[in-house]
A = this chain, B = another copy of it.
Amino acid sequence: MDPSLLDDLVAANRILAEHGVIDAYGHVSMRSPGNPKRFFLARAIAPQTVQAGDIMEYDLDSRPIDARGDSVTERFIHSEIYRARPDVMSVVHNHSPSVIPFSVTGVKMRALFHMASFIGDGLPVFEIRKVKKGSDLLVRDPRLGAALAKSLGKEAAALMRGHGSVTVGENLQRAVGRSVYLEMSARMQMQAMLLSKRITYLDTSEVKASAPVQDYKRAWPMWREKALARAKAERR
């Protein structure tokens, strides 16, 4: 892969960890620009330690093309979303701490902040119990991945009950930016709900005007530069 794209993915791992959106167990992938049936994802290590050499290539059955270590158990989240959503070029799975309370209450996350307008008038929640009873909540196989992809539908993100969430984008920057601002928006919505029962959310026309143009382009170069500087310092 183009070294600059590889660097983008290294940076994405670290940016998400820095923002507290993923802990040691989140992951972010990128569909191969050259082959839509392949994607790139780091081996099973903590995202904030990822270097270019940790990135592995997978096919859409989540089989590693070039194994460089253990694979992430939940890689099926990625492969099945790429299979179901040709428009998606990047997928993030996280344990975003302010999003999880929404996942277990049935309270809908809704767009109230223009930086997270992609939330629209509500995000779906994946209830793994409907597909598999007595699970450990992990998306451990293609069937669970496909069920999650089905819950996600055409949305930009889906919550996973008692577990976290998944965000997607037409490019890596958007999937990363959406994860960062989904967490912020969750915190803001919680606070707004404590302040009042009457909240003005973005209306449909505002979502339509805002979401497609929000590409987090002003944040990305700064995030990337800082992340790669840390990666470089740690390689020494």
The interface of chain A, by Cβ under 8 A from chain B, is 23-25, 44-46, 48-49, 95, 97-98, 100-102, 104-107, 112-115, 117, 129, 133-138, 161-163, 184, 187-196, 198-203, 205-206, 208-210, 213-214, 216, 218-219, 221-223, 225
Contacts and interface: CB of A to CB of B under 8 A. Distances in A.
A13 B133 CA distance: 38
9 pairs of A and B residues whose beta carbons are closest in the complex: A134-B205, A24-B219, A105-B196, A46-B222, A136-B210, A114-B137, A101-B191, A101-B192, A136-B209
A150 B92 CA distance: 42
Number of copies: 4
A99 B149 CA distance: 35
A206 B117 CA distance: 34
Contacts of A100: 112-113, 188, 192
